[in-house]
Amino acid sequence: MKILVVDDFSTMRRIIKNLLRDLGFTNVEEADDGNTALPMLKTGKFDFLITDWNMPGMTGIDLLKSVRADDNLKTLPVLMVTAEAKRDQIVAAAQAGVNGYVVKPFTAAVLKEKIEKIFERIG
């Protein structure tokens, strides 16, 4: 299981990476926005994407849309972990094909639950 964590703040990437390690996921790479993430996704054979929304360069929602528009990536499970809390945005993310939405600040238990739920659904 190879996971890409995209967030413009390195501390948040570290927190998520540590939580993922506790869940048994050790093959984790990082990117600081959509523009750096997308080429990594295209070549890196990732199994799961965790992304923030609000980032300079390419935002998380645009990254999600690019992933869904790419024939090789469109089935990649995407979990959004973000401070964006407007109902419209959550609906927009759902419409863009997000697999899960975690609003910051979040707990380790919530992240775990959402990740497990996504894997359960994909089977």
Structure-block tokens of residue 85: 């809390």
Structure-block tokens of residue 5: 């964590």
The verdict on 82 binding other proteins (CB under 8 A) reads: yes
Token look-up 């299981």 returns 1
d(CA 106, CA 87): 17
The verdict on 54 binding other proteins (CB under 8 A) reads: yes
DSSP state of 14: H
Token look-up 């980032």 returns 55
The verdict on 24 binding other proteins (CB under 8 A) reads: no
The verdict on 118 binding other proteins (CB under 8 A) reads: no
The verdict on 102 binding other proteins (CB under 8 A) reads: yes
The verdict on 122 binding other proteins (CB under 8 A) reads: no
Q: Which residues on adjacent β-strands are paired with residue 51? A: 6, 80
Nearer to other proteins, 44 or 122 (CB): 122
Number of residues that bind other proteins (CB under 8 A): 31
Interface positions with other proteins (CB under 8 A): 9-11, 14-15, 18, 53-55, 59-62, 82-92, 94, 101-104, 106, 110
